[in-house]
Amino acid sequence: MEVLTFEVVDFPGSYHAILGWPCYAKFMAVPNYTYLKLKMSGPNGVITVGSTFSHAFMCDREHYELATTVINSSKIPRLREASTPVVPDCNKPTPSTAFRPLEETKAVGIDPIQ
């Protein structure tokens, strides 16, 4: 018997567990993100853990909303105080480092009928 140590963090999230490559290697698990399946060896054969696309979408949406709420609540007010808005002047000429075609560049006509 082997003891596996997991780290537990106390923060709100939409996932029950986040497994990385060391955990996959330890369990000899193979994730397939396309089909939302995780397969690993078990005592009586292959163990398959799966989900649905609607559940995955719901979890991603919940995670996005949580992350947006956390970021907006703490960092946005500080960024507004620390920064000044800059609006570029479209009538002002571009600096000398702007794109300029080289001598080797040649014009090529494009036939819209093809």
Evaluate whether residue 71 is within a structural domain.
Answer: yes
Terminal CA-CA length for the chain: 68
The pLDDT score that the predictor gives to residue 39 is 92
Instruction: Report yes or no on 93 lying in a domain.
Output: no
In a domain, 110, yes or no: no
Number of domains in the chain: 1
The predicted pLDDT at position 114 comes to: 58
> What residues does 31 pair with on adjacent strands?
38
- Assess if residue 11 is contained within a domain: yes
Please give the radius of gyration of the chain, using alpha carbons only, rounded to the nearest integer. Answer: 26
Closest to 49 in 3D by CA, of 23, 68, 88? 23
The pLDDT-based confidence of 109 (bands split at 50, 70, 90) is confident
The pair of three-digit structure tokens given for residue 68, joined into one six-digit string: 């947006």
In whole numbers, what is the pLDDT of the chain averaged over residues? 78
Domain that holds residue 42: 1-76
| Domain membership flag for residue 38 | yes
Which amino acid does the sequence have at 36? L
Asked if residue 106 belongs to a domain, the reply is no
Given this model, what pLDDT does residue 68 score? 83
In three-state secondary structure terms, 50 is: strand
Give residue-wise pLDDT tens across range 2-22: 676 777 777 666 566 777 788
Task: Please tell me the distance from the alpha carbon of residue 68 to that of residue 15, in angstroms, as a whole number.
Answer: 16
* Any domain includes 66: yes
Query: Does some domain include residue 105?
Result: no
